[in-house]
Amino acid sequence: MTYLAIIDYLEREWSEKEIISFISLVHNKLNLLKEQPAIGWVHKKKFKIYKTLVHKNVALIYHVKLQIKEIVLLTFWDDIQDPEKLKY
């Protein structure tokens, strides 16, 4: 699931207040990740892939490249879905 897909869903199903709240949650989480990239829990240790909650139902899956101080956002994930279907 992409960030834009979530925003699109929120535009169809929710109010502007929820959209602004979600955007704010994402920005806050990204700012926190800049300072502490390994705050999420390890999703796939071998590949340095982490998962962190952005909202009670939405997680952000990301990869940390420590040697170049880079965080690669892989996908947003609706935690209600079957984790076996998670692809990135």
Structural domains of the chain, count: 1
Distance, CA of 32 to chain centre: 12
Do 50 and 41 contact (CB within 8 A), yes or no?
A: yes
- pTM, entire model: 0.84
Determine the pLDDT at residue 43.
81
From 78, 82, 73, select the one nearest 49 (Cα to Cα).
73
Determine the pLDDT at residue 51.
92
Determine the pLDDT at residue 11.
96
Q: Could you list the pLDDT tens digit for every one of the 88 residues in the chain?
A: 889 999 999 999 999 999 999 999 999 999 999 999 989 888 888 788 999 999 998 999 999 988 888 999 999 988 877 777 777 6
Determine the pLDDT at residue 79.
80
CA distances from 63 to 17, 36, 46 (A): 30, 13, 11
d(CA 59, CA 42): 13
Do 49 and 63 contact (CB within 8 A), yes or no?
A: yes
Q: Say which CATH number the domain at 61 has.
A: 3.30.2310.20
Domain extent at residue 22: 3-85
d(CA 81, CA 78): 6
Determine the pLDDT at residue 30.
95
